[in-house]
Structure 1
Amino acid sequence: MIKQQLGTLKSSEAEHGDNSRYTPNAVRVVGDSVDDIRALWPHLSNEQVEAIDFGTFSTNQFFDEMFRVTQNGTDPEFL
């Protein structure tokens, strides 16, 4: 299940690494299925869901990536 999240950046703009660096004009979210996406955007029609390639970024992939980029310095309770 997707939870709402608010993030802040402490680094300078030149050094920050938020999602927009990797997903310009898009939103990157963790979701195990289209149902998770619908939980965030319930107004999406069936036609829109069928036309959009949401890709995949499962909860397990998210945790794997967080542990990798923080060299296992991520606290799962914080996420």
Structure 2
Amino acid sequence: MPKLLGWTWEADEKPLLGHPETCPMHHTGYCMSGLLVVRMVESGEETPITKGDFFEIPPGHDAYVAGNERVEMILFEGPGAHP
């Protein structure tokens, strides 16, 4: 799942999901390149995810690509993740 330079959840994903306040999805994965900053909207806490990181992101976040490299991730989903 590549994210290009300048990508933000607010501008690029939110409109596709019907404009929810935050991302309603749970994500688990591995970052292969780049720097993605994930912000938990309620607390304001920001977590950088970079090359070599395994991650788990709960619902209630937004995110943006930082730095000058595109972000590439592998996302893992369990059975029944999508209806």
Shorter-chain TM-score tier:
under 0.3
TM-score when normalising by structure 1 = 0.22
Higher RCO structure (Cα 8 Å, ≥6 apart)? 2
Higher alpha-carbon Rg: 1
Write 1 or 2 for the structure with the bigger share of helix.
Answer: 1
